[in-house]
């Protein structure tokens, strides 16, 4: 990070440019609406000051058409910007299906990342350039917020609930990454760097991590955990316990004992492990013990990665789900 | 004040009606008074005290931020400083500021009443406020809290250090003071208007206080409930907000902002009422678009209840909810814009005295517009994702709450000072102070818009060195702003002893409060006033319109 003074933050993505364009255009409109007010206010105050003998005849104290026009015209103009800003925001909240998923766990006062290929990082996050990256984030304690100014994006990171954020960085470089939601004593030093690498550099970096021992994919470590934490004892194929099989579960609909149906997404898998009595699958008794105090968020992420591996694709993307 | 304003041809006050200031000199005559004017003075002294405490916290923050490493305080100390700054300024200064001092004093005078509808309740409001204030002071002395004024869960309920429960209790108690004031104002405005003071003849100051009273009564209980839940979770582990206990942290944010967004309008609506009075009085002209300005206050109060979700665009709430709240936040800007355009139009062909109240009013309009339009930027979803929880937001709400409300408060204090104290202040010094405040304010907070857009999060004790230059500008501005705020303290206090005696109507303004003596007699009017025409009636002829309107 440079120590130089700068007037405008760097743009590391197409989206960043879009946001700058939006605020620039909106700023121009705002000045066009405001400047006349400021100028007229000063002009009237000086021209009609009490010592001046000027024409004060026919001073009006109301005009409905004037009122309507200065209410409606700025409102309609602003609505145009509302549509633009909302479209950008919706796009920001809908990650493409082919995005690379990286898990983020926030805790007081650090960021932990788990790459699908197995690499783990703290505070500094390496991502490939030009490829959509989706961060699936959860907090271990209080609310945090992952903020990358160069991408013009942030997303709060909540305890007990996954939130996601996606981006495509298109300029290699090192950008600051900060916590934006006040999270206690060392909030201001809870930061790191987003390191955007050319795809070949990224692949090399990932290979170096593999050589250094991080050679087990997240799903594979989830599979190991699935046995060691005792999940397979009930959910395994050979189990005598009446527990739902988990193959093919992810991304498909699940009927619940209350009669509701939901899609088995990351949040559902997370809650079923941490709060098993929240949504019990139809036809099964609520006998699963809670792992709320047993597993760390990183371990739950690994289990979820494994369950995704043996399940379908992304939620709602499988053909048979759409047909149903 | 202009010389022309002084030649009031009003007969000397009837001697039997001694002023409220001379009606009793004992401590009991002040601390057990039910006179709305004396209670207003009690409030004025108390909120000034808390403004000072909150200001000291702000000074510590700005000093500390001179260096990126924050050499003055520890991380924890910094967090406690900004938490106390926010809590004291919001609940112990800004919310009671205009309504409980100026409003308390002026509302009965403006509508031709002898007092508020419930004088003893009014005194009780002040005592409740003082009890809450003492608890807050105890928290300050006991080391404070590090939750921020927003008390976000589960930080506040499970993780924060410090005296969270005591602070929450103090804010909870202060809420009852607010609710009682709201009830008092609503009943007073409904029931105690002088003969002929119809709703269409109410001064706009009354309309805006009516609107703010609605918010007082409807929003404050929600805050009270929310804070009780925070205390219950922290003390007894009752899971409401903490997911580890089966709670939902976003529920807290919904409840908190359901109060706290309307609370912003609690701060700004009375200020708008002040500005309508200041502008018309300075211009000696009827307000442009009376009904639009009046109804805009009510519209702000109503729509203001439906925009709280714009604090939560990046919290994880549904994107459709976000779009809805974004739209409504744009809609709530319309009545504010209507007011600004009407104030400007009121100046057209006016007979304008450029005195301190007008300078404060014009300062208010400029700063409020800047704060409002950056608020509109924040309502734009894609922009908010970038600048949410940065200095951009800090700058925005200081433009509204400090640039807006505090500037209007000073304007009101100057405008009604002769009425309240019976003395005239030094106009030259006041004009200088108005300009110093305007310049100091912009120097303090404009750099913070830039800091925010460049990506500096709020509530950062330690910050990257590239932000230092702008932080230094901001701190320098804060020093100038402190001078600007200190000046009135001196010349206003000086005027109490040495200022010339004020006539009944030094500004040549309309409004019933200017028909009684300065300071008013204990029961406000020697005869029951009867209202025969609408507000802001200034005859067109120039310059005879000046005094004696």
What confidence score (pLDDT) does residue A238 get? Answer: 78
What confidence score (pLDDT) does residue B11 get? Answer: 47
Q: What is the mean pLDDT of residues A43-57?
A: 88
Query: B340 to chain A: which residues are within 8 Å by CB?
Result: 37
What confidence score (pLDDT) does residue B263 get? Answer: 93
Residues of chain B with pLDDT under 50: 1-15, 541-549
Residue A241: both structure tokens together: 């316990």
Q: What is the average pLDDT value for chain A, to the nearest integer?
A: 89
B385–chain A Cβ distance below 8 A for any pair = yes
Query: A150 to chain B: which residues are within 8 Å by CB?
Result: 455
Judged by CB atoms closer than 8 Å, whether chains meet at B286 and A75 is answered as no
B471–chain A Cβ distance below 8 A for any pair = no
Find out whether the peptide bond into B154 is cis, omega within 30 degrees of 0: yes
| B residues 411-470 lying closer than 8 A (beta carbon) to A | 450, 453-455, 457-466, 469
Residue A267: both structure tokens together: 């949040």
For A3, which of B246, B382, B465 is closest by C-beta distance?
B465
Closest residue on chain A to B342 (Cα): A67
The ipTM value here is: 0.91
Q: Give the span between the Cα atoms of B174 and B144, in whole angstroms.
A: 17
Contact B310, B329 (CB under 8 A): yes
Answer CATH for A100-211 from 2.60.40.420, 3.40.50.1000, 3.40.50.720, 1.10.150.120:
2.60.40.420
What confidence score (pLDDT) does residue A5 get? Answer: 58
What are the distances in angstroms from CA B220 to CA B133, B171, B214?
A: 17, 10, 10
In this predicted structure, which of A27-41, A100-114, B304-318, B529-543 has the lowest mean pLDDT? B529-543
Find out whether the peptide bond into B543 is cis, omega within 30 degrees of 0: yes
Phi first, then psi, for residue A13 (nearest 5°) are -150, 165
What confidence score (pLDDT) does residue A251 get? Answer: 86
What confidence score (pLDDT) does residue B549 get? Answer: 36
What confidence score (pLDDT) does residue A312 get? Answer: 64
A153 has which bridge partners?
A: A148
Q: Which CATH class is domain B34-272?
A: mainly alpha
Judged by CB atoms closer than 8 Å, whether chains meet at B385 and A152 is answered as yes
With tokens 């800004």, the residue in question is: B94
What confidence score (pLDDT) does residue A310 get? Answer: 87
Phi first, then psi, for residue A9 (nearest 5°) are -70, 155
What confidence score (pLDDT) does residue A56 get? Answer: 84
Q: Please enumerate in sequence order all residues whose Cβ is within 8 A of that of B206, keeping only pairs 6 or more positions apart, or say none.
A: B107, B110, B111, B189, B273
Domain limits of chain B?
34-272, 351-502
Closest residue on chain B to A54 (Cα): B349
Judged by CB atoms closer than 8 Å, whether chains meet at B290 and A62 is answered as yes
Give the CATH superfamily of A218-323: Cytochrome c-like domain (1.10.760.10)
Closest residue on chain B to A189 (Cα): B462
Residue B283: closest CA among B111, B507, B511:
B507
Distance from CA of A252 to the nearest CA of B (A): 22
What confidence score (pLDDT) does residue B14 get? Answer: 46
């Amino acid at each position: 990070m440079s120590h130089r003074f700068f007037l405008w933050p760097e743009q590391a993505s197409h989206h960043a440019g879009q946001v700058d364009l939006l605020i620039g255009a909106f700023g121009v409109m705002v000045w066009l609406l405001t400047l006349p007010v400021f100028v007229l206010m000063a002009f009237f105050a000086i021209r009609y000051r009490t010592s001046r003998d000027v024409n004060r005849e026919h001073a009006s104290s109301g005009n409905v058409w004037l009122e309507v026009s200065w209410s409606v015209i700025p409102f309609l103009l602003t609505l145009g910007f509302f549509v633009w800003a909302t479209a950008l925001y919706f796009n920001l909240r809908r990650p493409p299906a082919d995005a690379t998923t990286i898990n983020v766990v926030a805790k007081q006062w650090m960021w932990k990342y788990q790459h699908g290929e197995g690499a783990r990082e703290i505070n500094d996050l390496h991502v490939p350039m030009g490829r959509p990256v989706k961060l699936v984030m959860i907090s271990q304690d209080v609310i945090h917020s992952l903020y990358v100014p160069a991408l013009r994006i942030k997303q709060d990171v909540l305890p007990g609930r996954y939130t996601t954020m996606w981006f495509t960085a298109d300029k290699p470089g090192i950008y600051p990454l900060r916590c934006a939601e006040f999270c206690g004593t060392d909030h201001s030093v809870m930061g790191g760097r987003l390191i955007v690498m050319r795809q070949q550099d990224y692949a090399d970096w990932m290979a170096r991590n593999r050589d250094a021992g991080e050679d087990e994919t997240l799903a594979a470590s989830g599979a190991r955990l699935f046995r060691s934490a005792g999940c397979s004892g009930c959910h395994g194929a050979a189990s005598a316990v009446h527990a739902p099989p988990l193959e093919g579960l992810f991304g498909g609909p699940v009927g619940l004992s209350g009669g509701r149906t939901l899609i088995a997404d990351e949040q559902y898998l997370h809650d079923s492990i941490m709060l098993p009595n929240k949504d019990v699958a139809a036809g099964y008794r609520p006998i699963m013990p809670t792992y709320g105090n047993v597993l760390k968020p990183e371990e739950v992420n690994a289990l979820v990665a494994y369950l995704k591996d043996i399940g379908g694709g992304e939620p709602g993307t499988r053909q048979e789900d759409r047909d149903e | 004040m202009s010389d022309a304003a002084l030649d009031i041809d009003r007969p000397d006050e009837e001697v039997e009606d001694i002023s409220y200031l001379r009606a009793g000199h004992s401590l009991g005559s002040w601390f057990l008074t039910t006179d709305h004017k004396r209670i207003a003075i009690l409030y004025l002294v108390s909120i000034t005290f808390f403004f000072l405490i909150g200001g000291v916290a702000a000074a510590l923050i700005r000093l500390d931020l001179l260096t990126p490493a924050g050499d003055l305080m520890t991380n924890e100390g910094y967090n406690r400083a900004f938490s106390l700054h926010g809590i004291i300024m919001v609940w112990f200064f800004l919310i009671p500021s205009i309504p409980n001092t100026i409003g308390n004093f002026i509302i009965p005078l403006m509508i031709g009443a002898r007092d508020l509808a419930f004088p003893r309740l009014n005194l009780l409001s002040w005592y409740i406020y003082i009890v809450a204030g003492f608890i807050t002071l105890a928290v300050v002395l006991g080391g404070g809290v590090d939750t921020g004024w927003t008390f976000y869960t589960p930080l506040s309920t499970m993780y924060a250090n410090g005296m969270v429960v005591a602070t929450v209790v103090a804010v909870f108690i202060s809420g009852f003071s607010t609710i009682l004031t709201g009830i008092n104002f609503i009943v007073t405005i409904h029931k105690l208007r002088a003969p002929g003071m119809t709703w269409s003849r109410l001064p706009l100051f009354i309309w805006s206080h009516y609107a703010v009273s609605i918010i007082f009564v409807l929003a404050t209980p929600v805050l009270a409930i929310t804070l009780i839940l925070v205390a219950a979770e922290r003390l007894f582990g009752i899971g409401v907000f903490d997911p580890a206990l089966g709670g939902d942290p976003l529920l807290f944010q919904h409840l908190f902002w359901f109060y706290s967004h309307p609370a912003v309008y609690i701060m700004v609506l009375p200020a708008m009422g002040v500005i309508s009075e200041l502008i018309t009085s300075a211009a000696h002209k009827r307000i442009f678009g009376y009904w639009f300005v009046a109804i805009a206050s009510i519209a702000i109060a109503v729509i203001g209840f439906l925009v709280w979700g714009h604090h939560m665009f990046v919290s994880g709430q549904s994107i459709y909810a976000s779009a809805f709240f974004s739209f409504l936040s744009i809609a709530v800007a319309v009545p504010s814009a209507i007011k600004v355009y009407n104030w400007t139009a009121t100046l057209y062909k006016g007979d304008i005295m450029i005195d301190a109240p007008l300078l404060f009013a014009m300062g208010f309009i400029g700063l409020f517009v800047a704060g409002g339009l950056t608020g509109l930027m924040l309502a734009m979803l894609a922009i908010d994702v970038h600048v949410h929880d940065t200095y951009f937001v800090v700058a925005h709400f200081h433009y509204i709450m400090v640039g807006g409300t505090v500037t209007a408060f000073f304007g009101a204090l100057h405008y009604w000072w002769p009425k309240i104290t019976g003395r005239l202040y030094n106009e030259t010094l006041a004009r200088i102070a108005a300009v110093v405040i305007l310049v100091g304010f912009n120097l303090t907070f404009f750099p913070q818009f830039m800091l925010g857009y460049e990506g500096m999060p709020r509530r950062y004790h330690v910050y990257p060195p590239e932000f230092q230059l702008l932080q230094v500008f901001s701190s320098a501005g804060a020093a100038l702003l402190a001078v600007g705020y200190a000046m009135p303290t001196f010349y206003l206090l000086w005027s109490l002893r040495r200022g010339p005696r004020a006539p009944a109507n030094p500004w040549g303004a309309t409004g019933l409060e200017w028909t009684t003596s300065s300071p008013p007699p204990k029961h406000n009017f020697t005869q029951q006033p009867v209202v025969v025409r609408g507000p802001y009636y200034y005859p067109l002829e120039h310059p005879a319109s000046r005094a004696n309107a």
